[in-house]
Structure 1
């Protein structure tokens, strides 16, 4: 499974009647592949996985992997309240032909570090697919401690961690640990340039729903040591990225898909749509972007 480069945790488009818009999803997947991304992450946080029923989840996963058709890496988000459910989602992803999995600690239960170890060990033992751990304590209520990461990284099919804690000191500590056969992935769009400077090669970016080609170019520039170009690209995207990170991330990611000629619709409850004023403010920021 190649996770070097930009992987897009793709939005789930909804039609005006609230149903999943599979045609728009195919358009987005194709646009992202043509933009040079390294992979697509299905049913992630940006994809509102928690708002999909089981039938819709299967449709989304199947549509993405069929549209990709082996051209880039496919990763299935398998977050769930219980480890047993994550295992079932892993089995589903394997059956559909996904290359890898991404998973948080189960939310709400506030697992201890021992519980986190049990969760990922049990999950890893249940599947041969490579697993990206997803550290997002603001969402799930607990953090995967650095010592826990080091222990879990010894498991052969636990291959990476998406670091979305917002604490770059922690991320840098993991990078400096130089864990064998293990990658630290940027999961914080607003500090991506910092991750790249310290040698991180992978960025799972919700912002890539808006800026796929630009972020692909940014990762390439970093790999070639063209840091003036990295700064130029980041400076251009930063106002929009900052606006997304400040709140209503999913809503703004979907609005940003209009850049690609795709109407991704609105979000589902429990998320609320943007007010008309906030929508216009964000679109003005987006329209002001110049590469």
Structure 2
């Protein structure tokens, strides 16, 4: 029987801190997790694009996954979503099973996308991963801008019919709204979590999204937007999102750009000891560094 664990509210994708020499920094990772918990975060995902998953060894992923699960589960009611972004189905199945062994409450499946696999191949891949971890609930991550994968609401809903432990979809299409609405009309109805740094968060909320997955360096802003929206103060929520939008719109022009920006913010806020990204990485120029300084100053009321 599938449990009722779901992503709800603000669910940051946790970044991977590195030392000055490029090694994983477990102490900073632990501190970052603690700060997320202190801010009120109860659901996290790791490792995603924002975690530089594609620059980590399997051993590093396992180590930090174990640290994350242990650290989060000290607090009752927390949910840890472990992502399986591996391209080869055999590897993804093994990594998904390993995630469950390490204590994942949910598994996020990024469909394979290297060299344009067919829709049938993508669906088979997702099915095999879902079957391997059943009855553990899972989320399918639909990120066509990053992957080129093309899925429809009907195809995703059929996946859920075939594998009932598929319970949610992380929608990162641009824009995400139509797919979020379409998923709610399918049978089974699938709830949606919006990604892409929440650039289209307000539209997603209007269409019934139940969660947002930003990065982990300024989650307090997203928590405030979410709280205001749930309290019915939608105008203030929209105003706050409008203040945020110029920054996240700029940073989301590329994955490596927003990773570098978020790491800089985490470092300046004392969440991590460095802002190191593993090479090859996106270097921030002087104007982009100044932009981050303006951002931190402009949101000083929330980024304590």
Shorter-chain TM-score tier = over 0.9
| Partner Cα separation in structure 1 for residue 292 and residue 231 of structure 2 | 32
Deviation, 1:144, is 1.9
Preserved CA contact (<8 Å) 1:113 1:145: no
Q: CA deviation at 1:85?
A: 1.0
Moved more, 256-265 or 9-18: 256-265
1:116·1:144 contact (CA, 8 Å) conserved in 2? no
What SS does the aligned partner of 2:281 have? coil
The alpha-carbon distance between structure 1 residues 251 and 179, as it changes in their structure 2 partners (threshold 3 A), is farther
Shift of 1:270: 2.7
When normalised by structure 2's length, the TM-score is 0.88
**Residues 248-287 of structure 1 correspond to what in structure 2 (within 5 A)?**
248-258=257-267, 260-263=269-272, 264-287=274-297
Q: Number of aligned residue pairs: give it.
A: 289
Q: Where does structure 1 lack aligned partners over 5 or more consecutive residues?
A: none
Alignment of 1:288 with 2:298, yes or no, is yes
Which residue number corresponds to residue 79 of structure 1? 85
What is aligned with 1:2? 6
Deviation at 1:274, TM superposition (A): 2.1
Partner of 1:126: 132
Aligned residue for 1:231?
238
Q: For 2:199, what is the secondary structure of its paired residue?
A: helix
Residue deviations 1:113-135 (CA, integer Å, cap 9, x gap): 21121111111111122111001
Contact 1:254 1:265 in 2 (8 A): yes
Gaps of 5+ in 2: none
Aligned to 2:276, the other structure's residue is in SS state coil
Match of 2:214 in 1: 205
Q: Say whether 1:111 aligns with 2:121.
A: no
Cα contact 2:175–2:200 (8 A) shared by 1: no
Which stretch of structure 1 is more off in the superposition, 10-19 or 70-79?
A: 70-79
- 1:100 maps onto 2:106 in alignment: yes
What CA distance in whole angstroms lies between the structure 2 residues aligned with 1:39 and 1:180? Answer: 24
Q: Secondary structure at the match of 1:77?
A: strand
What's the Cα RMSD here? 1.9
Assess, with a 3 A threshold, how the Cα gap between structure 1 residues 173 and 52 changes in structure 2: closer, same or farther.
Answer: same
Are residues 148 and 19 of structure 1, via their aligned partners in 2, closer, same or farther at CA, if it must alter by over 3 Å? same
